[in-house]
Copies of this chain bind each other. A is one copy, B any other.
Amino acid sequence: MGIAERALIAEIRKRTGSRSAAVRVGIGDDCAVLSVAADEEILVTTDMCLEGIHFLGEWQTAYSVGQWCVTRGLSDIAAMGGRPVAVFLSLACPEGTEPVWIRDFVDAVRSVAESYGANLCGGDTAASVSSIAADIVVLGAVPRGQAVLRRGAKIGDALFVTGKLGTSQAELAMLKAGECEERRFMPKPQIEAGQKLRSIATAMIDISDGLSTDLAQICEESGVSAILDADAIPVAKGAQLADALHGGDEYQLLFTARAEGKVLTRVAGVPVSRIGAIRRKSKHAVYLIEDGRSRVLEVAGWQHRF
Question: Which residues of A come within 8 Å of B, CB atoms?
Answer: 1-2, 24-25, 28-36, 38, 41-48, 50-54, 76-77, 79-80, 82, 86, 88, 90-92, 121-131, 133, 135, 137, 139-140, 142, 144, 147, 149-151, 204-206, 209, 213, 221, 301-305
Could you say which of A34, A35, A46 has the most chain B C-beta atoms within 10 Å of its C-beta? A46
Is the Cβ of A77 less than 8 Å from the Cβ of B31? yes
Given contacts A88-B46, A129-B50, A213-B1, contact A147 B25 (CB under 8 A): yes
A303 to B125, CA, bound (A): 12
A304, B122: Cβ atoms under 8 Å? Answer: no
Cβ contacts A to B, 13 pairs, < 8 Å: A1-B209, A24-B41, A25-B149, A31-B77, A33-B80, A35-B41, A44-B122, A44-B137, A47-B90, A50-B129, A53-B126, A53-B127, A90-B135
* Docked-complex contact B304 and A1, CB < 8 angstroms: yes
Could you tell me if B50 and A128 are in contact, using CB atoms closer than 8 angstroms? Answer: yes
Q: Shortest distance in angstroms between A38's beta carbon and chain B's nearest beta carbon?
A: 4
Q: Give the CA-CA distance A24 to B48 in the complex, in Å.
A: 24
* Identical chains in the assembly: 2
A144, B41: Cβ atoms closer than 8 Å: no
**In the complex, are the beta carbons of A126 and B44 less than 8 A apart?**
no
- Interface hub of A32, A35, A151, A205 (most chain B Cβ within 10 A): A32
Complex contact B88–A29 (CB within 8 A): no
Minimum C-beta distance from A14 to chain B (A): 15
A121 cross-chain contacts in B, Cβ below 8 A: 44
- A44 in contact with B86 (CB, 8 Å): yes
Docked CA distance A47–B80 (Å)? 26
Contact between chains at A30 and B53 (CB < 8 Å): no
Residues of B within 8 A of A35 (CB): 41-42, 144
